[in-house]
Amino acid sequence: MTNKSSGPVEIGALGIPMVFDNVLTGRSLDKAHAVCSFSDPYIGEDAGYLQVTRLSGQGPALLVIPDGHTPFEAYNPILQTPRAGGASPPKVFTDPTPRSNTFEGFFDWMVHTQAYAENEWKNVKPWNPSTMLTLAPGQSKTYGVRFLLAASIRHIEPALTANNRPVAVGIPGYILPMDVDAKLFLNYSKHVKSVEAEPRGSLTVARATVAPPDWNEYTVHGKTWGRSRLLVTYEDGTVQAIQYFVTKAEIDVVSDLGRFLTTKQWFNDPNDPFHRGPSVMTYDRDENKIVTQDTRAWVAGLGDEGGSIWLAEAMKLFGQPDKAQIDLYQQFIDKVVWGGLQESSGPRQYAVRKSLFYYQPDQMPAGFYRSDLNWTSWTSWNKAQGFDAVNRSYDYPHVAALHWTMYRLARNTTGLVTNHPWDWYLNNAYQTAVAMVKFAPQYARFGQMEGTVFVEILRDLQREGWTTQAADLEARMKKRTDEWTRLAYPFGSEMPWDSTGQEEVYAWTKYFGDQAKAQVTLDVILAYMPAVPHWGYNGSARRYWDFQYAGKIQRIERQLHHYGSGLNAIPVLSEYRDHPDDLYLLRIGFAGQMGALANIDQEGFASPAFHSFPDTLKPDAISGDYAQNFFGHALNTAAYVVNDPHFGWQSFGGNLESTAAKVTVTPLDSFRMRVYMAPYGLWLTLDAGRFEKVEVNPKTGAIRLGFAAADAHSPAARLRVEQPATLKGVGTYAPSGSPAQERGAYVIPLQSKTTWVELTAKAR
């Protein structure tokens, strides 16, 4: 650009359109996966870039990087022409290609944003401070981008390094609990001049005296809750912005969630005509009150994804049981779910209704429904469409997971669950899975959100020796899986393209031994689940339409850490446990399951996702479809211990101290019920009890497990020892002393202090 005028010219905003073929409209799934691409930004100033991947996840990845000084300051949706009409047309903008469920829209790589910051983005905290350019008469300025190819998605960072671009790797990631000793590794040809946190004091950073070759290593601690920007300045003037989100300790975040759900979101109106109480219901954080009416019937009806926030508390209890909260949930099951949301008798027994709330003004007193809402939408289900309908398969995993959680608590603890015996809950979980296939076959042929719970139910049926029920459920799921095996990309849903069915498709194809289809599924997930130094995008599986169906700000918009993050983390981390040398999988999978915690505020309210548009950049204000995200977190949360060839001994989900003689890990994840020892392919899980410490002798491979002291409800730990990865030179681990086993778990009596058990390996 050259200023040919006689006076200075101010450029308050400057964007470079980043247009790639992400238009899925009118294309089959096979065609879309073959020709369409997704782009993900690293909004990192001079170190920023855009990565573009095929929907299939296969082949090379395209990288768009700065040419010269072209900082990546913001990523702005291209919303162009104001709608015509009237002397003062409304400030509503349209795209030349309408945004929809099949088109996320195009974006600008913003180099300068000051004009937006002063107008459309006023009162919004941007990812990076806004700048502008002033050109003097005759002055010129050049901006541009270059294109690179990485051999594959996993090779994006090596390609950046090879082209002299700054690379950052955060362990365990960029969502940072305050009690975690995080690490940051920087790789660039120029020396680091300074590292500063914004706001000042929100992070503390200390440089390590010894670092891996070609890397600078730092220890990072979160000090102030919320968003924080780490600004790295190199000696050549290059500026790299790394975006962190600091949370409370994981265990405290989840405790806050449970408390908020069972107090502020607890609904118990005996006069409610829809009989929704006692229950956890959708909550509006702007108004700080429960949403009892919404034109999207499910949001106020305990149904669908948008109204099933009650599932979040069920999964919280799965890993953080609380007697008082469990008592509330026993009421919820007996008074609202069983015989209400789920039919308890008759020809449709175990079927799940779409919604308890519905719009039927002829059955309600005059003025009952809010007059300020537009009830003409198709989403305003009447009684026949919502309450009487049981044909939506996506509602069934929520209820199945509720029953399964109560089964696990009743079976593995003492005195927590009292209304029904454990087998009542397990049978209900099994029957709910069967009912889905029976009463909702249209969409049951697709992968379901939380569908992994059906695999868990099957495994518990097998452990209990319920052979008839196990064989029945397995056969029904095999029939669904056989259909997926015949399809090239079996990831459809009621939407033309989706990023949630992959979770269950992976689970069942892997269970039934179809490794090829499981790999296709994993590759597709990698295409929309990036690894970038930005908490909002790192591990954030692509979702962009659900604000319409479960959010308060209803628009097509990239949702940061919507429930795709937690759900897609399930297959990614499962695959990592099979291949513990693939650190990339651990990085994105761990980041995905942590996204659910970044959506919880300091009091415990959980938002469905964070708004990525730069005119908003905040969590959505109603709880919406958050629960599915926490389901993914609950099934994933663990401490992972790795000995990486580049970065050495590291921990995701815990703090680690290492010497030549001993490696000690303190689990700090939400539940402290799972530990994965990557050097040994060893997956340790607890049905009851808590891990307190894990010690490893790296020379002998001996492992000591420290369990938290007994309490009234968990007098014994129930330990499962699995080795999903078969590694050369690693034997088969088992506890010393041959403790008793029940249903495949070792029963470890707990003491009033830390109880230690040693695992030793025998040659295979």
Q: Which residue has the tokens 């007697």?
A: 323
Give the residue among 396, 386, 398, 393 at the shortest CA–CA distance from 357. Answer: 386
Structure confidence by residue, pLDDT tens digits, 652-704: 999 999 999 999 999 999 999 999 999 999 999 999 999 999 999 999 999 99
Residue 491 lies in a domain: no
Q: Is residue 64 part of a domain?
A: yes
Say yes or no: 103 and 205 in one domain. no
- pLDDT per residue over 333-384, tens digit each? 999 999 999 999 999 999 999 999 999 999 999 999 999 999 999 999 999 9
One domain, residues 142 and 266: no
The pLDDT score that the predictor gives to residue 198 is 97
- The bridge status of strand 610-611 relative to strand 639-644 is unpaired
Cα–Cα dist 145/109, whole Å: 10
Residue 82 pLDDT > 80, yes or no? no
What confidence score (pLDDT) does residue 87 get?
45
Strands 289-290 and 61-66: unpaired
Full-model pTM? 0.97
351 occurs within a structural domain: yes
137 and 10, same domain (yes or no): yes
- DSSP letter at 214 equals T
Count how many domains the chain has.
Answer: 4
Is the pLDDT assigned to residue 84 strictly greater than 80? no
Same domain, 213 and 342: no
Rounded-to-integer distance, Cα 656 and Cα 641, Å: 8
Ranges of beta strands (E only) in 557-667 are: 559-560, 610-611, 639-644, 648-652, 654-658, 663-667
Which of 247, 276, 308 terminates a domain? The answer is 247
The reply to whether 25 and 158 lie within a common domain is yes
| Contact residues for 31 (Cβ-Cβ < 8 A; gap 6+) | none
**Percent of the chain at pLDDT above 90?**
94
535 vs 199: CA distance, rounded Å: 16
- Model confidence pLDDT, tens digit, residues 89-133: 455 555 566 788 999 999 999 999 999 999 999 999 999 999 999
Which residues 6+ apart lie within 8 Å of 513 measured at CB? none
pLDDT at 406 over 50: yes
Q: Is residue 662, in this structure, part of any structural domain at all?
A: yes
Q: Is 35 helix (H, G, I), strand (E, B) or coil?
A: helix
In one-letter notation, the amino acid at residue 57 is: G
pLDDT the model gives residue 764: 81
Under the banding of pLDDT at 50, 70 and 90, the label for residue 738 is: confident
Q: Which residue has the tokens 């919320």?
A: 226
**Residue 745 within a domain:** yes
Averaged pLDDT for residues 736-757: 96
pLDDT in tens, 142-192: 999 999 999 999 999 999 999 999 999 999 999 999 999 999 999 999 999
* Segment 8-23, tens digit of pLDDT: 999 999 999 999 999 9
Rounded to 5 degrees, φ, ψ at 336 are -120, -45
DSSP assignment, residue 191? P
Residues 295, 366: Cα–Cα separation, whole Å: 17
Q: pLDDT tens, 458-513?
A: 999 999 999 999 999 999 999 999 999 999 998 877 777 899 999 999 999 999 99
Distances in Å between the Cα of 574 and the Cα atoms of 169, 469, 518, 569 are 22, 26, 11, 8
Which residues touch 634 (CB under 8 Å, ≥6 apart)? 315, 316, 318, 319, 670, 671
CA distance 139 to 135: 6
Are 719 and 756 members of one domain?
A: yes
- Work out the pLDDT band at 86, boundaries 50, 70, 90: very low
pLDDT number for residue 497: 87
Residues 108, 4 within the same domain: yes
SS3 664: strand
Whether residue 172 sits in one domain with residue 147: no
Sign of CA dihedral 706, 710, 711, 714: positive
- The Cα 325–Cα 313 span in angstroms is 9
pLDDT-derived band at 442 (thresholds 50, 70, 90) equals very high
Q: Residue 393: is its pLDDT beyond 70?
A: yes
Retrieve residue 281's tokens.
């219901």
Tell me: do 219 and 152 sit in the same domain: no
User: What is the reported pLDDT for 491?
Assistant: 86
Containing structural domain, residue 745 = 639-762
Helix or strand (DSSP H, E) at 757? strand 755-762
Burial class (CB in 10 A: 0-12, 13-18, 19+), 95: middle
Among residues 374, 391, 409, which one ends one of the domains?
A: 409
> Domain for residue 723, yes or no?
yes
Q: What is the pLDDT of residues 127-142, one digit of tens each?
A: 999 999 999 999 999 9
Which helix (H) or strand (E) segment holds residue 589: the answer is helix 583-598
Assess if residue 490 is contained within a domain.
no
Task: Check whether 436 has a pLDDT greater than 70.
Answer: yes
238 and 260 share a domain?
Answer: no
3-state helix, strand, coil in the chain (%, to 5): 30, 25, 45
Tell whether 95 and 231 lie within a shared domain. no
434 within 8 A of 466, measured Cβ to Cβ: no
* Per-residue pLDDT at 85: 47
* Domain endpoint, select from 110, 145, 163: 163
What six digits make up the tokens of 308? 């099933």
Report yes or no on 478 lying in a domain.
no
Same-domain pairing of 155 and 6: yes
| Per-residue tokens: 451 | 């569908």
Here the CATH number for the domain that contains residue 205 is 2.60.40.10
In the predicted model, is pLDDT for residue 264 greater than 60? yes
